[in-house]
Amino acid sequence: MRYLVFMSVVVAVAFWAMGCSGDRDPGPSARDSYEAAMASGKPVLLDFGADGCPTCVQMKPFVYKAISDYRGELEVVMIDTNVDRDLASQYRVRAIPTYVFIKPGGETVSRAMGFIEASDFDSKIRQFIDDHPPAEIN
């Protein structure tokens, strides 16, 4: 129990510290990419992270592989929580990385947090796409 409390404090302090680093340009917003993905009629994976997050950096190659492997079947939006705090708040992101799986039509169906082994990440995405195929767009 103490470990859980300790880790919660560590995550909260890290999140706060990343948000307080006012000396660097946070970069462009992902809002346009998010809106386009949500209107695409395809399943959407939101990847909430930040450059200063070691686990996010570790997961980046897996996310890029998913973008490549599932092109046309899945929309992936990488969201920097330092830039798009409104989206992070909307999806109740409390730790990073957080992955939010949204079926066509906008309903959140699952989420995952933290480091995920490459094969498990790929399996989770494949199952998500199989369960929620792209909607027919007329």
**56 catalytically annotated:** yes
Q: Please, what sign has the CA dihedral across residues 33, 35, 36, 37?
A: positive
Q: Which of 37, 44, 53, 102 is catalytic?
A: 53
With a CB cutoff of 8 Å and minimum separation 6, the contacts of 51 are 57, 80, 82
Q: Of 79, 76, 82, whose CA–CA distance to 122 is shortest?
A: 76
| 53 catalytic residue (yes or no) | yes
Q: Which listed residue (56, 59, 78, 96) is catalytic?
A: 56
Tell me the C-alpha distance between 103 and 135, whole Å. Answer: 9
Rounded Cα distance between 48 and 40, Å, is: 19
**Residues labelled as active-site residues:** 53, 56
